[in-house]
Structure 1
Amino acid sequence: MTPPVGVAPEGAGGRSSSEGSGGAPSGATDEGGSQVDGGAEVDGAVGEPSRVVRIIAIGDTGEGNLAQNQVADRMSEKCLAVGGCHAVMMNGDNFYDHGVLDTGDAQWGPKFEQPYDRPGLNGLPFYAVLGNHDHGPSSSGVRQAQIDYSLLPLGDGPGTRMTDKWRMPAAYYDVRVGHVHLFGIDTVDFTSDEQAVDMSARVAASDARWKIVFGHHPRYTSGAHAADNQQLGLDGMFAMQRAIYCGADMYMCGHDHNLELIDKGRDELCPDTYFAVSGSGSKTRPRLASAPNEPGQLFYNDETEAFAYLEFEESVLRFEFIDKQGAVIYAKTITK
């Protein structure tokens, strides 16, 4: 059955496995013992890998500016045009410049609830991960507010949230949307092995047809942060990322305010993993003139705010970058 236009299929929140640290809610369980987000399953897509799953990926959205709203308009229009999307991945830096202080922070409206109050987006779960700005000043603990917001009841008064779009059950977690398994990670917190051990085990155990890991920081990038990858001593973060994305079909991220797709084979230890940057959800940043293109680069753009659209069938992934004017500026079909 085709989902209603602009509305995710019933229970599009997806099947969620046990979640990482951060006060995850306790949901209903299915017969296999897996946690089910909201007590409902994804449409008929679960168990039917030939069904189409449509997911949007955006990053670095948290400005509340005109560009963010323009991108949101185009996201809505895309979902309406294809007969309904199933979920949105948010790649971090959800609130500039220092995250949100608490669940009642005034930024929740103009930087999240209002921009994504669109016909094609209402009813969709927005699965979010933390960026460096979301962690706030060092050791401030503000990241917990984004996790806690997921737990609030719906309403229009204090201690409530306007919609149930926002989904961040923990700092790292996974959720199954039909035959697509999403693994959200916290790339800012890489000082212990707990996340890498936990999430790599989940990726390895998944029998999903498609596995997508999404976090904030890129492993490979041709953007403005390319120099950081060589200069900032990020080996610990890279090791954590690799432990998790190795075995996944794609690692999706933000941080650089641009668009990029790098072919599989870039990481010789994980030869089947593509690398994508979708970090221009509200602004762009030009790269250094001297920055070289990453080996295996298939596409790069830092001139327009945009989002990524991913459409999964059993053996085909249709990948698009769509700009704030609605133009498809890049498209690739990936098969497996």
Structure 2
Amino acid sequence: MAAISMLFLFTFSSALWVLHASAELQTFAHPSKHDGSLSFLVLGDWGRRGAYNQSQVAFQMGKVGEKLDIDFVVSAGDNFYDNGLVDDHDAAFEESFTNIYTAKSLQKQWYSVLGNHDYRGNAVAQLSPLLRKIDTRWLCLRSFIVNTELAEIFFVDTTPFVREYFTETNGHKYDWRGILPQKSYITNLLKDLELALRESSAKWKIVVGHHAIRSVGHHGDTQELVTQLLPILRENNVDFYMNGHDHCLEHISDTESPIGFLTSGAGSKAWRGYTQGLNRKGLNFFYDGQGFMSVQLTQTDANIEFYDVSGNVLHRLTASKQLHSSL
């Protein structure tokens, strides 16, 4: 593994976090529970100052988070609508995040990626350490890794992959600071991700991005990710790809590998009335409404559940691994 150039210690939410700053993706160590298990919630497309049932989803997240004793929350992007944050003093940060996710169980680290709506504002502001001073739960970077030993979660900045954001902006202005030239940015990101996945010894490998690889929702498949990202995930035995972007809940099985494609982009505005593609091969579950997802992992089992805005379990999937590999 590449040599680590620097080591920083950060204190977030009364826990000690170790950040390895290397030539590759930054890695944050987040310990699993004492029994070796891990649990977390996944939410995307949420920041609307409580509107469009965001507050109701947050309430149910608090209840499920307490029941599962979650270790952290994963945010799959489009964190602040409609156009991200203006700057790192934007009141929308507290009005859409701090003041909404108030349950005791949600006072854990939030690991977040950027979505396309975040890039329409001041994308760099969401990466600012100043936001962590306002709310210590917040940690948002472009691409990074959370290592729990049991699982490694690889967060990928997917918005720069999508060509139309550069060619057909529809009047929107995207904040491409730190991204250009686009081709070099993507090439380097994929190289770093492939290296990290190949070297990972975690029992579970999970990749998180904003855009879907496979979806029957409004936006559908993201062809750039199908072409450039999916082959890397297949080659490196990734278990799940989790995303937002489509405002729905989905579970689609890959037809060529064991990867499960899981969409949790229903944190606020949903109900788009989309009904096409529901006979798609590999589709296990689709719900066109608000909600979120929970993930529970042990050495041998993964249990993932999708909840609606009332806290009802709509769909459950399980996956198992052998405790020891065959010789």
- Give the TM-score band, short-chain normalised: 0.7 to 0.9
> What residue is the counterpart of 2:148 in the other structure?
177
Q: Does 1:112 align with 2:116?
A: no
TM superposition outliers: structure 1 runs of 4+ over 6 Å: 19-22
Shift of 1:294: 2.9
After superposition, give the CA deviation of every residue in 1:94-121 in whole Å (9 maximum; x if it has no partner). Answer: 0111111211011101111111121111
Using the size of structure 2 for normalisation, the TM-score is: 0.79
> What residue is the counterpart of 1:217 in the other structure?
211
What SS does structure 2 have at the residue aligned with 1:88?
A: strand
Shift of 1:243: 4.6
After superposition, give the CA deviation of every residue in 1:262-320 in whole Å (9 maximum; x if it has no partner). Answer: 12x32x2xx12110000101121335444343311111110x31100000010100110
After superposition, give the CA deviation of every residue in 1:164-211 in whole Å (9 maximum; x if it has no partner). Answer: 11111x311111124111111111112431111111211111111111
> What residue is the counterpart of 1:167 in the other structure?
139
The 2-side partners of 1:20 and 1:224 are apart by 37
Structure 1 residues 33-182: aligned runs within 5 Å: 36=28, 42=31, 45=34, 51-66=36-51, 67-82=53-68, 84-122=69-107, 124-136=108-120, 142-148=122-128, 151-152=129-130, 160-161=133-134, 163-168=135-140, 170-182=141-153
Q: Does 1:275 align with 2:261?
A: yes
Q: Unaligned regions of 5+ residues in structure 2, if any?
A: 1-11, 162-181, 322-327
Tell me if the contact between 1:252 and 1:277 (Cα under 8 Å) persists in the aligned partners. yes
Structure 1's 223 and 127: CA in aligned 2 closer, same or farther, altered over 3 A? same
Using the size of structure 1 for normalisation, the TM-score is: 0.77
Shift of 1:44: 5.4
The 2-side partners of 1:297 and 1:176 are apart by 30
The 2-side partners of 1:153 and 1:167 are apart by 8
Question: What amino acid does structure 2 have at the position aligned with 1:135?
Answer: Y
Q: 1:237 aligns with which of 212, 225, 243?
A: 225
Q: RMSD of the TM alignment (CA)?
A: 2.5
Q: Unaligned regions of 5+ residues in structure 1, if any?
A: 1-7, 25-34, 155-159
What SS does structure 2 have at the residue aligned with 1:152?
A: helix
The 1-side partners of 2:86 and 2:23 are apart by 22
Shift of 1:235: 4.0
Tell me if the contact between 2:46 and 2:267 (Cα under 8 Å) persists in the aligned partners. yes
